[in-house]
């Protein structure tokens, strides 16, 4: 299974992907494995962000990838493969959410008023990112829960832009909304995440990262 | 251009994206240099985004990739794309 070209710039990657797709459609079907490999991890993260259940997220990605394989002839090279795959996974995961009637608890009525001012959590200081703390299950669960509790329209842009790391343009394409709307929703989503997480992540009384403060004798937040 | 805290919060996401124009960026930075609260809001928001994007935030189930490619292999074996 050899394909010319090395991973490099986004343009190189797109050319390489276009070449692989052409070869798959010409009969080298097994190259599809290679095509999705770079994306499979982030696709799972996106599905899990919505579904919050490992088995459901894995099923959603499997189904979405099979759909992508079937629909490959309809993929247009002017789109980015990552955007296309992300929108298929997002739709699959959202379909499952609706099926489970989880969306009944996530109605538009519960979304913040668009004109409402957002006030972030005001905290005194937060200097460094405690990446090592991600080894702790509590922190991972806290972040996952915060994403899951975002209203749907904000969660969609947040998952695509900040979890899956698509660009603003790609996020707009995947959701079929304007870039301006992506930016507005992203601001609200990020401030909601900040408001929810910042006070929990920095606790004067030892809280989640108390062990770090005691352990290393330094102030993380 | 003099900004208050609310103006800064409204631009914080675009500021992180690096999409604010140079004048606005300069005004935000002037405000941040003098407002400890807004500086902390910016840092905490930015740091949360770093945590969210870190691969360790979401754990892949053991065998996830193998199962995905096994399913896919069955599909590839049985039919070409577009069918």
Instruction: Quote the minimal CA–CA distance from B29 to chain A in Å.
Output: 17
Closest Cβ opposite residue A194 in set B48, B53, B81: B48
Question: Between A and B, how many CB-CB pairs are < 8 A?
Answer: 158
Evaluate if residue B7 carries a pLDDT over 80. yes
Q: Is A114 on the interface with B (CB under 8 A)?
A: no
Task: Point out the domain boundary residue: A71, A105, A139.
Answer: A105
Task: Point out the domain boundary residue: A54, A73, A105.
Answer: A105
Closest Cβ opposite residue A197 in set B48, B53, B67: B48
Asked if the Cβ–Cβ distance from B9 to A44 is below 8 Å, we say no
Closest Cβ opposite residue B81 in set A25, A140, A201: A25
Instruction: Quote the minimal CA–CA distance from A5 to chain B in Å.
Output: 23
Evaluate if residue A128 carries a pLDDT over 60. no
Residue with tokens 């949360």: B48
Does A169 reside within a domain? yes
Q: Which of B4, B6, B68 to mutate to probe the A interface, most A CBs <10 Å?
A: B68
Does A174 reside within a domain? yes
**B40-64 as b/e, with b when 16 or more CB fall inside 10 Å?**
bbbbbbbbbbebbeeeebbebeeeb
Q: What domain range is A66 assigned to?
A: 10-105
Quote the ipTM score: 0.90
What pTM was computed for the model? 0.81
A136-143 contacts: CB < 8 A, separation 24 or more? A136/A208, A138/A208, A139/A201, A139/A208, A139/B51, A140/B56, A140/B57, A140/B58, A140/B59, A142/A197, A142/A200, A142/A201, A142/A208, A143/A197, A143/B48, A143/B51, A143/B52, A143/B57
Does A218 reside within a domain? no
Q: How many domains does chain A have?
A: 2
Residue with tokens 């995440």: A193
In chain B, what residues touch A190 (CB-CB under 8 Å)?
12-13, 16, 45, 48-49
Contact yes or no for B14/B20 (Cβ under 8 A): yes
**What would the pLDDT profile of A161-220 be if each residue is shown by its tens digit?**
999 999 999 999 999 999 999 999 999 999 999 999 888 876 433 444 443 333 332 233
First vs last C-alpha separation in chain B: 60
In chain B, what residues touch A23 (CB-CB under 8 Å)?
none
**What would the pLDDT profile of B10-63 be if each residue is shown by its tens digit?**
999 999 999 999 999 999 999 999 999 899 899 989 989 988 988 888 889 999
Specify the CATH number of the domain B5-78: 1.10.10
């Amino acid at each position: 299974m050899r394909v010319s070209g090395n991973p490099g710039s986004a343009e190189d990657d797109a050319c390489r992907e276009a070449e692989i797709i052409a070869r798959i459609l010409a009969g080298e079907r097994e190259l599809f494995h290679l095509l999705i490999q770079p994306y499979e991890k982030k696709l799972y993260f996106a599905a899990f962000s919505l579904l919050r259940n490992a088995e459901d997220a894995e099923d959603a990605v499997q189904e979405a990838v099979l759909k992508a394989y079937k629909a490959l002839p309809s993929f247009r090279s002017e789109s980015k493969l990552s955007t296309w795959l992300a929108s298929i996974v997002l739709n699959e995961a959202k379909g499952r959410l609706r099926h489970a009637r989880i969306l009944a608890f996530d109605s538009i009525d519960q979304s913040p008023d668009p004109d409402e001012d957002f006030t972030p959590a005001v905290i005194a200081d937060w200097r460094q990112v405690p990446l090592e703390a991600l080894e702790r299950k509590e922190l991972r669960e806290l972040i996952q829960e915060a994403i899951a509790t975002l209203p749907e329209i904000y969660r969609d842009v947040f998952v695509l832009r900040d979890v899956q790391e698509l660009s603003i343009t790609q996020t707009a394409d995947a959701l079929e909304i304007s870039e301006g709307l992506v930016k507005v929703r992203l601001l609200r989503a990020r401030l909601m995440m900040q408001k929810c997480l910042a006070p929990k992540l920095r606790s004067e009384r030892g809280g989640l990262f108390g062990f770090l403060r005691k352990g290393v004798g330094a102030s993380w937040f | 251009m003099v900004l208050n805290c609310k103006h800064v919060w409204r631009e914080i996401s675009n500021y992180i994206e690096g999409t604010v124009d140079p004048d606005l960026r300069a005004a935000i930075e002037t405000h941040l240099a003098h407002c400890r609260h807004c500086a902390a809001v910016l840092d905490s928001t930015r740091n949360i985004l770093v945590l969210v994007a870190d691969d360790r935030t979401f754990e892949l189930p053991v065998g996830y990739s193998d199962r995905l490619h096994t399913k896919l292999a069955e599909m590839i074996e049985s039919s070409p794309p577009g069918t």
